[in-house]
Amino acid sequence: MKIILALVLATAAAFVPHHVTPFPKTVVFGSGKYDGQLWDLDAKMDIWGAWDPNTPRSETNFNPFERNPDGNACDASGYFPGETNYKDPMRPEMNWAGMMKEKETMAFVEANPKAGDVPGAPGRLK
């Protein structure tokens, strides 16, 4: 009986491929650092400070001040309106002083581009 079992297993092993191609990796969408939190100017500056334009764009590596071709801003995970994973962010109350602070911050960001922040960089939308 043991001999028959050994022969059956040896024969079955002949039909098993030697090189098994792994299944493609499934991309699991997580969330950004500020997903579900207040998506205010301080949060955007934190994400911008950590952003590396030379590293592929992801939910934790994106320019929060970048706009898509329609002119829309991204959410706290770097997704734009119309994309499957877009979540409407929690926005702060806005007033004139807040808009002026945001204007100053945008002038700073535009005047100080990060090294590697060029069209076609892996960390940019385009």
pLDDT per position as a tens digit, 59-78: 999 999 999 999 999 999 99
pLDDT at 126: 77
pLDDT at 20: 42
As beta bridge partners, residue 73 has 67
Per DSSP, the residues of 87-123 read ---BPPP--HHHHHHHHHHHHHHHHSPPTT-STT-TT
* CA–CA distance, 4 with 82 (Å, rounded to integer): 62
Phi-psi map region of 71: left, alpha, beta (phi>0 left; psi -120 to 50 alpha): left
pLDDT at 22: 43
pLDDT at 47: 97
For the record, the structure tokens of 117 come out as 């922040």
Reading the chain (126 residues) residue by residue, the pLDDT tens digits are 767 656 666 665 555 554 444 433 333 445 899 999 999 999 999 999 999 999 999 999 999 999 999 999 999 999 999 999 999 999 999 999 999 999 999 999 999 999 999 999 999 987
pLDDT at 81: 95
CB atoms within 10 A of CB 31: 14
